[in-house]
Structure 1
Amino acid sequence: MSHSSPSQTPSPSELRLHPPDLPPGDPGASAAKDPERYWLEHVYQGGVRQLTPRAVISGMLIGAVMCLSNLYVILKTGWSLGVTITACILAFAVFGTLRSLRVLKKDFTDLENNAMGSVASAAGYMTGGGNMAAVPALLMLTGTLPSSGWLMVWFAVISALGVFAAIPIKRQLINIEALPFPTGTATAETIRALHGHGDVARQKSRLLGGAGLIGALLVLVRDARFSWLTNIPEKASLPFTLLGKKASAWSLSFDFSLLLVGAGALVSFKTGWSMLLGAVLTYGFLAPAMVGQGVIPEVTYKAINSWAVWTGSALLVSSGLLSFAFQWRSVARSFKALSGLFGGKSKEQEAQDPLAGIECPPAWFPLGFAVLGPIAIFLMAYLFQIPWWAGVLAMPLAVVMGVIASRVTGETDTTPTKALGPVTQLIFGGLAPGNIPANVMSANATGGVGLHSADLLTDLKSGWLLGANPRQQFVAQLFGVVAGAAVVVPAFNLLVPSADMLGTEEFPAPASMVWAGVSKLLATGVSALHPSARLGALCGASLGIMLVLLEKWAPAKAKAYVPSAAGFGLAIVIPGSSSIAFFIGAAIAEVMRRKKPKLAEAAVLPVASGFIAGESLLGIGIAMAKAFGVMPK
């Protein structure tokens, strides 16, 4: 099918729900009344290479690398960081270099890069959706996990269900309602810039590569144990003492970690200073007071965190649930959309459908769940001893969560996993009281479906703006799911050989601590907590609610001074040194945005991503070398 030249294709900022008005006599006037027909005739690039073998292979490889990086980051910080834009920059740089060396004959097209991004994001986000919150939480609570092979199958099946769950809502959310999906729109803009302006692409790829090299070198001189290498310290204590102990004993120190500084540069400055405030109050005031009263037995991060996690978890859960409740309009629209999921079109309507040969057939949704649903239910029963009736209930609940997560992501660019996970835990805590694996892993199932549904729709938004074939992107996403599942499990087992590694300064695993805390509370009851921990949880829950209400209802000028509930809560459950590093990164990025906005736009993302990738990947490499005896521990 023919398509218009690039100069005629609307930019993402121009393409909205309604195409431009055309005179009544114009041949395109009829198409202008129908956004899907307009897209087909003016945007769709039917003859351009898209899902090629090299796009799939490079996406699986880059996605696997990004998955390793995200695994390291989420165990450190509790957050999965952006994958797609970094992957697109990296792929463009690699294929551009190979083309200049004449190893490749054909250019790497914008739609190939978009398809590669779909593969890479599905693999890279295998750490999200509760996967790397639930599994470490289960390990902490029970001390055991299923074998690596079974866990790979579990992750692949749950993630694939999320991909199928996106099919029936894609056209409504993207084609008709034109929800913004900001990350998808930004990815489309990035791909246009890369493939339209070689200088911009080369600059970003150089910054990404240079920052990655610096991050890797820092890890080498800090963590590698060679007789010829003098290691730098992991951290430097702040210059004061509390109760006769150095500040570093309370985790208040400067981390020699560019990963954390890079992660801070990618969050808002408000989140950064909120984390600093939370760290100062928790480790500088609250923890010393509890040690002085004998509630916290010793001055170590693990001892402090064992008490403070209840305050932080309550703050994160209450703020997440209330923020989610304020998005009730999105939720209501999601439930309205659910009513039409199984209402197929008539044969006459299908015959008139201009995108019938391009969009995924509606029948793929029930077919996917009919095939994968029983497998997921079997895995729940076999691996986690979840009653079969609870597994059956989890399937429609997962669809509901997928629809809600997708719409909320489309409207706000935030997938509400932190809210949906505890909601599912509460539901199954009531249905199967005392069953910890059912409580944790059923939430993993619904969270995984929600994340991968939202992730695919974010990628499909990019494809819609660039004129890509959505059916090919759907297939690309499944390739990524396989790659991510194959990589994340052995890497996790390598980094976390036992539950003792979790909840430490090396791997605080804050998301897992929250999930484990909620599950333990539901299983044992509030009465099992120390009275001070109960008071802390009550204060945390109240503070989370108050911060959300202030953020929503405070005067516009005052909102800038209301701490971020997510940042403040996270600071309570990670080491103070991590929050300090986050703040440094956020502050540097904010100063650049104010003083040198053009430089910030060009440099912050690739440099921060490079720091994160370089340090995390070499960190995993050193961990592998130590585990296999190649390097002394």
Structure 2
Amino acid sequence: MAATVGSTSTTRPVAVQDDAEFTARAVLVGLLIGVLLAFTNMYFGLQSGWISMMSLQASLLGFAVFKVLPQSPFFNNRPLTVHENIVLQTTAVATGTLPLAAGLVGVIPALAQLTEKLDGSSPIILSPLALCAWCFAVAFFGVFLAVPLRRQVIVKEKLVFPSGTATAQIISVLHEVPAPGAKPVEGYRPLATSDGEEEEVEAAPTKIDKSGWNALLNSFALSAGFTLLSLAFPVVYAIPVFNIFGNLAHNWLWWFSPSFSYIGQGIIMGLPTTASMNLGMLCGWAFLSPLAKHMGWAPGPVSSSADGSRGWILWPALAIMMAESLLSISLVTFSALAGPLGMKERPIIIDDDETRSLDEREEEVPVASGRSEEEADKNIVLGGVVLSCVACVVLVAIVFGEEGIKWWATLIALVLASIFSVLGVRALGETDLNPVSAIGKISQLLFAVVQPHNIVANLIAGGISEAGAQQAGDLMQDLKTGHLHGASPKAQFQGQMIGSLASVFVSSGIYVLYRNLYDLPSTTFPVPTAAIWLNLARLVNNGELPPRSKEAMLIFGISFVVLAGVKMVFKGRQTLGWTRFVPSGIAFAIGFINTPSFSIARLIGGLISYFAMKRHRSNHAGASSSHLENIGLIIVASGFVLGEGLASIVGLVVKSAGGGPLSCWGCDLGGGGYCGGC
């Protein structure tokens, strides 16, 4: 079912610039797609902690909408332009990622799990109005913080922002315009760069033909259909295949979820990431979980996050995530400080096969645009920073009260968020990893001193820092896409603000729906991120760790600092290709915090991606080594992910109407996955 991508066969002039960028039709379609992405991200976030920007999918869906409905009066009988698509996907991403930025899949469920005995506080379950107030409090300051950083990290330093660059490449293919950085060929008129100089570029090398769009529809329908089938017969989403070795599904949480969406996510992640995830899964669930259970370190049921091995293995996972992220942030900080002192070349990870210098990358990716880049008004940005911070302090005080977090402590959290946002943006620009999780955890550690013995304040402060870093990073990826195509930063900023405002109500409403219809956490939606937040808050405020978990944290934390250091030191050496086999600490830790079914299906996707790219490179000399630049793979993977996301909305409707599975046959054999609803 691979999408066919054909070569362009005609030579045609390339337009210097598009019409208006910030249009009603681009914003409206972006909002509609953003709502779908918000549902999708909430579903996967509560289920596994996995949330994606989905800028690639947003661009693809936006283009498809205008391709299918071009004759509508609303569409003005003309196709979507490149710059409109960039505003569309910026709006969609802003709408779709607030479930993570506002902590709706982490901090908010963690607050709902507080207990008087352990935490000195009753569960905090926010009303719909209070939830909207919280989302509004954290929805904007990260956006305003990102705007002044753009000129430094994108225009001057030209950091790569790999996902933003990949999205720019996809947009080039969709609209059949020159790809950013295309080499000059004879016969095409020049485009003006942002510096006013003229530059020859070649036409886009590929396009999506009819079979490509059919692949999107087929993969979407296949994923949605399977998800609906799993809602009717939950056992197909939690197949107890490992029970041939004993009752592993019920007792040890080993079942298999043949989710097409998980496979699609694996395709997008790539084999190195999914392989690291599965190594972590085997280490955590096949070795550490049984060890902790049999040694009496985790005496409760394996599924318990309180006294079971599921909760016990969260601690070494947390140590790995923090150790590698802190190392990454430290190197980024050193790099930023050393740059002005004379460091002229900084390594940038492009993909798993090569490392190129910043100077080399600057030469390869010029701005393919013919218009000046209009910045957002500085006074509006400065005023927005002040007003958004004031609104955050006031609304947090109203929602949680002085007993929850002091007003001055919220102000300190905002200052920390501002600092960490800069570090997060730089890390994202260089490595495609925004360490928002680690940033939130660092704030939690600091707030153990700022407002000690207050778990509520600890969680809120971490959530504020995570929100700022997440929003700043997401917008910067979009701004990189826009910069490569010469889009207006002002138009993108406006789209981001509209999307963020809409998502305050959209994301709050979606979370309330899930909270009312499902137990959080539950077998269906274990909310693993909330357990991480809550466990660390309890640790830094009460100082108690499960037996032997401290030793495990030290061993795994130190090990992955060493491994990450080795990978960074030797990454650029041509003769040391073995560094690609060093596992990613973040991905390894994710294998710990989710049940095996989360990782196994994604490994299938990673293998599909690997062999498809291997075949593609053998058939096309000089083809890119990055799987994200294979439009056929992206199309199929996007259909898989979005199909299950849409079907999850149907599941919510059925559940809210009092419906349930048609049959729970087989669930007594496994008891995992969707079988929790039986």
For residues 379 and 533 of structure 2, what CA distance do their matches in structure 1 show? 35
Residue 541 of structure 1 corresponds to which residue in structure 2?
A: 557
Deviations along 1:350-379, one digit per CA (max 9) or x if unpaired, are xxxxx9992112222321122222110012
Deviations along 1:262-320, one digit per CA (max 9) or x if unpaired, are 21221131221222222222222222222223333355433321221112122212222
Map 1:24-35 onto structure 2 (within 5 A). none
Deviations along 1:427-470, one digit per CA (max 9) or x if unpaired, are 11211011112111112112212221222222222222222222
Residue 524 of structure 2 corresponds to which residue in structure 1?
A: 506
* Alpha carbons of structure 1 residues 364 and 518: separation in structure 2 relative to 1, 3 Å: same
Residue 77 of structure 1 corresponds to which residue in structure 2?
A: 48
Displacement of 1:7: 4.8
Q: Secondary structure at the match of 1:166?
A: helix
* Alpha carbons of structure 1 residues 93 and 519: separation in structure 2 relative to 1, 3 Å: same
Residue 191 of structure 1 corresponds to which residue in structure 2?
A: 171
Among candidates 494, 517, 524, match of residue 542 of structure 2: 524
For residues 423 and 271 of structure 2, what CA distance do their matches in structure 1 show? 28
* Alpha carbons of structure 1 residues 167 and 530: separation in structure 2 relative to 1, 3 Å: closer
**Structure 2 residue identity aligned to 1:362:** K
For residues 638 and 531 of structure 2, what CA distance do their matches in structure 1 show? 26
* Alpha carbons of structure 1 residues 236 and 630: separation in structure 2 relative to 1, 3 Å: closer
Displacement of 1:524: 0.8
Residue 413 of structure 2 corresponds to which residue in structure 1?
A: 394
For residues 587 and 425 of structure 2, what CA distance do their matches in structure 1 show? 23
For residues 554 and 85 of structure 1, what CA distance do their matches in structure 2 show? 31
* Alpha carbons of structure 1 residues 490 and 219: separation in structure 2 relative to 1, 3 Å: same
The alignment status of 1:217 with 2:219, answered yes or no, reads no
For residues 385 and 447 of structure 2, what CA distance do their matches in structure 1 show? 21
Q: Which consecutive unaligned segments of at least 5 residues does structure 2 have?
A: 1-10, 115-121, 177-203, 342-370, 621-626, 662-676
Map 1:76-115 onto structure 2 (within 5 A). 76-99=47-70, 104=75, 105-115=77-87
Displacement of 1:518: 1.4
Deviations along 1:241-261, one digit per CA (max 9) or x if unpaired, are 3xx533563222321212222
Residue 67 of structure 1 corresponds to which residue in structure 2?
A: 38
Deviations along 1:380-436, one digit per CA (max 9) or x if unpaired, are 222232101111222332222222222222222222212211111111121101111
Among candidates 431, 434, 450, match of residue 415 of structure 1: 434
CA contact (8 A) 1:130 1:417 kept: no
**Structure 2 residue identity aligned to 1:391:** T
Residue 158 of structure 2 corresponds to which residue in structure 1?
A: 178
* Alpha carbons of structure 1 residues 367 and 203: separation in structure 2 relative to 1, 3 Å: farther
Displacement of 1:181: 2.1
**Structure 2 residue identity aligned to 1:517:** N
The alignment status of 1:118 with 2:90, answered yes or no, reads yes
For residues 111 and 324 of structure 1, what CA distance do their matches in structure 2 show? 33
Displacement of 1:213: 1.0
CA contact (8 A) 2:59 2:88 kept: yes
For residues 523 and 605 of structure 1, what CA distance do their matches in structure 2 show? 44
**Structure 1 residue identity aligned to 2:387:** V
Among candidates 309, 314, 330, match of residue 304 of structure 1: 309
Among candidates 127, 152, 155, match of residue 135 of structure 2: 155
For residues 195 and 416 of structure 1, what CA distance do their matches in structure 2 show? 33
Residue 557 of structure 1 corresponds to which residue in structure 2?
A: 577
CA contact (8 A) 1:315 1:537 kept: yes
For residues 66 and 239 of structure 2, what CA distance do their matches in structure 1 show? 39
Among candidates 595, 617, 627, match of residue 646 of structure 2: 617
CA contact (8 A) 2:397 2:407 kept: yes
For residues 277 and 508 of structure 1, what CA distance do their matches in structure 2 show? 21
Displacement of 1:545: 2.1
Q: Secondary structure at the match of 2:256?
A: strand
Residue 346 of structure 1 corresponds to which residue in structure 2?
A: none
Among candidates 434, 437, 440, match of residue 456 of structure 2: 437
**Structure 1 residue identity aligned to 2:309:** I
CA contact (8 A) 2:102 2:139 kept: no
Among candidates 370, 378, 402, match of residue 386 of structure 2: 370
For residues 239 and 360 of structure 1, what CA distance do their matches in structure 2 show? 59
* Alpha carbons of structure 1 residues 130 and 265: separation in structure 2 relative to 1, 3 Å: farther
Deviations along 1:135-185, one digit per CA (max 9) or x if unpaired, are 222222353232222222322342211111122222222223322222222
Q: Which consecutive unaligned segments of at least 5 residues does structure 1 have?
A: 10-42, 337-354
Residue 607 of structure 1 corresponds to which residue in structure 2?
A: 636
Displacement of 1:517: 1.7
How many aligned positions are there?
568
* Alpha carbons of structure 1 residues 445 and 231: separation in structure 2 relative to 1, 3 Å: closer
For residues 469 and 568 of structure 2, what CA distance do their matches in structure 1 show? 25
For residues 275 and 231 of structure 1, what CA distance do their matches in structure 2 show? 24
CA contact (8 A) 2:278 2:603 kept: yes
* Alpha carbons of structure 1 residues 455 and 335: separation in structure 2 relative to 1, 3 Å: farther
For residues 628 and 499 of structure 1, what CA distance do their matches in structure 2 show? 13
Displacement of 1:497: 3.9
Length-normalised TM-score, structure 2: 0.78
Displacement of 1:8: 6.6
* Alpha carbons of structure 1 residues 334 and 460: separation in structure 2 relative to 1, 3 Å: farther
- Matched-pair identity in %: 29
Map 1:103-502 onto structure 2 (within 5 A). 104=75, 105-129=77-101, 131=103, 132-141=105-114, 143-196=123-176, 199-200=207-208, 202-224=210-232, 232=236, 234-238=238-242, 240-241=244-245, 245-246=247-248, 249-298=251-300, 300-302=302-304, 303-332=308-337, 358-384=374-400, 385-497=404-516, 501-502=520-521
